Structure 1
Amino acid sequence: MTYQENYQKWLDFAELPAYLRDELVAMDEKTKEDAFYTNLEFGTAGMRGLIGAGTNRINIYVVRQATEGLAQLIDSKGEEAKKRGVAIAYDSRHFSPEFAFESAQVLAAHGIKSYVFESLRPTPELSFAVRHLHTFAGIMVTASHNPAPFNGYKVYGEDGGQMPPADADALTDYIRAIENPFTVQLADLEESKANGLIEVIGENVDAEYLKEVKGVNINQDLINEYGRDMKIVYTPLHGTGEMLARRALAQAGFEAVQVVEAQAVPDADFSTVKSPNPENQAAFALAEELGREVDADVLVATDPDADRLGVEIRQPDGSYLNLSGNQIGAIIAKYILEAHKTAGTLPANAALCKSIVSTELVTKIAESYGATMFNVLTGFKFIGEKIHEFETQHNHTYMLGFEESFGYLIKPFVRDKDAIQAV
């Protein structure tokens, strides 16, 4: 089908919402071609794209099609998989809540249970929820640290990590086989809530997640000594980190925490930053301002779905040094290994994992403590595979996994990057 035919098919669909129809009518030829010349690609980690009308954009129909594919995959696994269901979370972006609940309605039309968070939550909490609730899969509606015009849809497997290759390939095949996303059926939202096919979750899962996060601390005496006075500035960059990071710091014993309030409010336009990416020093502008005001020792930022962490530390001249992802990884690794060695709890078979493009400095740090470093391909799913191997073969004890792109996982009750743990 040509892009013109695809465009006309959308324009002719009588039930198209007014906002999408208006967008179609306003398109010039170049935009039409870009929006309709292909389908938004569903890869191993899901899909991500510009929000808008079209087959090459992310919108309710593209999300319905992806979820219909997931529903068909779960159907093929039998009744137990349908009862276990799917955990669903979403971030602060445009249409994130709509995409999440529409996904739940598609699943409900197949008799598949879903657990949907009441409001925005971090990606790592979604990974935790899949494991905690023993669901068959998870959906995270997020475009991570991409600019405001984007959104995305990630699918997780039953271990809370990226879906295994066989299931991921089957899911892609199911999605591609759906010729007309306009025909995907949705169950009624309120009816599905009433009959239990859609269950809204929130604080009950938050509390369990935070209970696990408490176990990330190794030397509580150190926090008791310095945590009350160590001045921290935190910014969630208008994203999901606000839901949990402040609570995680408080329960650990850090009392002198200031939050950049202008960036603590969910904002799909990320109006105070050019890009909500903690890898960029520009994203720290307001945090630095507050830091100078309160004489903060350290500034921390999480990206919109709170899976990546950025850090700046105060220098002797009062300026703030922006740390690279490799530097943060080295500091975390050194601390974990030193604290366990001091406490006498460093396992003889301690292991760390990193992507092959991340610094070898951390390998040297690991070796100096008698720990083994495993280099894996880029993508956190490969770190997840190593964790699974360690747990099933009992050959190593996992201590840390990281990527230089500001992603860290300390405790494996989550199977993806976790900025709340890293904070």
Structure 2
Amino acid sequence: MMEDRIQDLYNTWLNSKCIDEADREELRGIANDPKEIEERFYKDLEFGTGGMRGIRGVGTNRINKYMIGKATQGLANYMLSVDAEAAREKGVAIAYDCRIGSTEYALTTALVLAANGIKAYLFESLRSTPELSFAVRELGAQAGVVVTASHNPVEYNGYKVYWNDGAQIVDPHATGVVESVNGVTDLEMIKMISEEEAKEKGLLHMIGKDLDDKYIETIKGEVLNSEIEGKKDFKIVYSPLHGTGRVAVQRVMAEAGFESVYTVAEQEMPDGTFPTCSYANPEDPAVFELGIKLAEKKGANICMANDPDADRIGIAVKTKEGEWIYPNGNQVGLLLMNYILENRKDIPANGAVISTVVSTPMLDVVAADKNVKVMRTLTGFKFIGEKIKEFEEGKLDGTYLFGFEESYGYLIGTHARDKDAVVTTLLIAEMAAKYAAEGTSIPEKLEELYEKYGYYKEGISAITKGGKSGAEEIAAIMTKLRDNTPVELAGQRVAILRDFKLQTEKDMIAGTEAKLDLPSSNVIQFVLEDGTHITARPSGTEPKIKYYYGVKADSAEAVDAKLTDTMKKFEAAL
């Protein structure tokens, strides 16, 4: 029985010589709580195609040094099986963020790799995810690991794996690493040596300032307008939300000539407890409360905030009427794309913007008007990174210009193969300062785009379903949508059905079907007769299912009403 298997696994961990005494004591503390034992041991924490995230704690369904060790042993086994010489000689770059446990987990990663004869290049202190991506290619490493849970709640931590192109792993390596990690079935299979032994054998190298300098200089090379009237006095409020962005962002902004940047003091220093914002997510307007208070005091009209590992950025901007608004990830992406296309001096004839299947349909309209093609990938910046590599290798016709996903992730340049909030913070500052010098602003530019191309608006709703029963409920929802496809949604006929798991696109009106040229993924997208997009996608990092909406209307008021009505009707239909 399942209950017996769970109890046996709990007892195995409780009595394992691999478990230290403090963690054994934590396990003893739940001995009389069968529900908690079930939640911790009913499965292994899933190692997906990009890594894993989970709640910290002792157990197979938790993030802890043992599951980090298992993941790293699996990674080491895979690397050695693919190319043992490259694995040992090129090694693995490792970074970590401010979260509780990150320092220990990163060192565990390094020492497991070293025990397998693989060099580990470990940052001397916390660094951002994009700098890790940069470091992989700069060091010529065979792989990379960053210990982070990005914007997840405070109780989470995680582990992401990169390959030698600096992007998160994609197939065939993704599947290979997952299978290899799953092959580590016993804690005693995990090899590990001491820090002292790893250093003595030349298998543990600390990295820091020299690589930081190269990263910052590369980012500064993405500046489009270095001479902007009033730039040094243009006031900006910035917050790293207790995370890794502080040092790099403050430095690059100062070196680029922004002398009036005010950092939110209460959120400036790294702190894995996130005392001012337990959900340190720049998508959440609540994280800007302290920043806006400082902006009002200093007279700034823009606030920017990074997530804890500094790969995502959100902004708050003040309108000429004095209202603070929070452009969403799609809006910031459109603004950045428009700014790049209007200010970059060497736009190639075959320029391409890469985004995802759940990002705004407005992107295609604006890009087409500017003679730039759009390429859509599955959700996850690793797929954008994969396309950048294919452009550079000549496998795709075109030149990469800009990449973004609706979840507040952007990449300007090719120095990294993951979203980079450090370079994006710099470019947004430049864009805002240039518009101010021209007598306009980000809110006014956004309104200009809507007036020209139509009013588009996007929304996301999410249903959280925790635990074993929650995972089953989410699976049942996707099965229902797939097996009982509605003919009508939100008062409109379903015109197109895209099933990314089956890799098919059906024209529901004409009755035809085509193949999608994307990897298989458990995502379903409905395109209604009026162009409305509705997409269902289980989250890959949290126990929830997400619904993405995109609508268009003739005015701001009409598009607001249409989005609200569409979301309400779809959720009622579910």
Match of residue 329, structure 1, among 322, 328, 333? 333
Match of 2:153 among 147, 158, 168: 147
Q: How does 1:17-96 map to 2 (within 5 A)?
A: 17-27=20-30, 28-76=33-81, 77-96=83-102
The alignment partner of 1:112 has SS state of coil
Equivalent residue for 2:408?
Answer: 406
> CA shift at 1:314, angstroms?
1.4
In the comparison of the two structures, how many residue pairs are matched? 418
What is the aligned partner in structure 2 of residue 367 from structure 1?
Answer: 368
The CA deviation at 1:363 is 2.3
Provide the residue aligned with 2:105 in structure 1.
99
Partner of residue 186 from structure 2, selected from 145, 159, 180: 180
Aligned position for 1:129: 135
The reply on whether 1:281 has 2:282 as its aligned counterpart is no
Could you tell me which of 409, 418, 422 is aligned with 2:420? 418
2:359 maps to 358
Q: Is the 8 A contact 1:235 1:302 kept in 2?
A: yes
| TM value normalised by structure 1 | 0.96
Question: What is aligned with 1:251?
Answer: 255
For 2:520, the equivalent position in structure 1 comes to none
What's the CA shift string for 1:339-397, capped at 9, x where partnerless?
A: 02xx4x22111111111211122222222221111122211122112211211117312
Please identify which structure carries the higher strand content: 2
The residue identity in structure 1 corresponding to 2:414 is P
Could you tell me whether the CA contact under 8 Å between 1:61 and 1:182 is conserved in 2? no
RMSD, aligned α-carbons: 1.3
Quick check: 1:66–1:175 contact (8 Å CA) kept in 2? Answer: yes
Structure-2-length-normalised TM-score? 0.71
Q: Distance in 1 between matches of 2:266 and 2:201?
A: 40
CA distance in 2, matches of 1:41, 1:227: 47
How far residue 299 of structure 1 moved from its aligned partner, in angstroms, is: 0.3
Q: Give the equivalent residue in structure 2 for 1:303.
A: 307
Identity between Structure 1 and Structure 2 (%): 46
Name the CA distance, whole Å, in 2 between partners of 1:272 and 1:32: 32
The aligned residue for residue 216 of structure 1 is 222
Give the C-alpha shift of residue 329 in structure 1.
0.5
Separation in structure 2 between the aligned mates of residue 37 and residue 234 of structure 1, nearest angstrom: 42
User: In 2, are the aligned partners of 1:235 and 1:287 still within 8 Å (CA)?
Assistant: yes
SS at match of 1:11: helix
**In structure 2, how many angstroms separate the alpha carbons of the residues matched to 1:389 and 1:57?**
36
Contact 2:50-2:170 at 8 Å conserved across structures: no
Whether the aligned pair in 1 keeps the contact of 2:154 and 2:278 (CA below 8 Å) is: no
Q: SS of 1:286's equivalent?
A: helix
The question of whether the paired residues in 2 share the 8 Å contact of 1:292 and 1:318 is answered with no
- Any conservation in 1 of the 2:402–2:412 contact (CA below 8 Å)? yes
Asked whether the 8 Å contact 2:170–2:383 carries over to 1, the reply is: no
Runs of 5+ unmatched residues, structure 1: none
**Code of the aligned partner of 2:390:** E
What is the CA–CA distance in structure 2 between the aligned matches of 1:105 and 1:376, rounded to whole Å?
Answer: 35
- Residue 199 of structure 2 is matched in structure 1 by 193
5+ residue gaps, structure 2, are: 426-574
Larger radius of gyration: 2
Evaluate the alpha carbon distance shift between residue 20 and residue 67 of structure 1 in structure 2; reply closer, same or farther with a 3 A threshold.
same
Q: Distance in 2 between matches of 1:194 and 1:252?
A: 41
- CA distance in 1 between counterparts of 2:347 and 2:15 reads 65
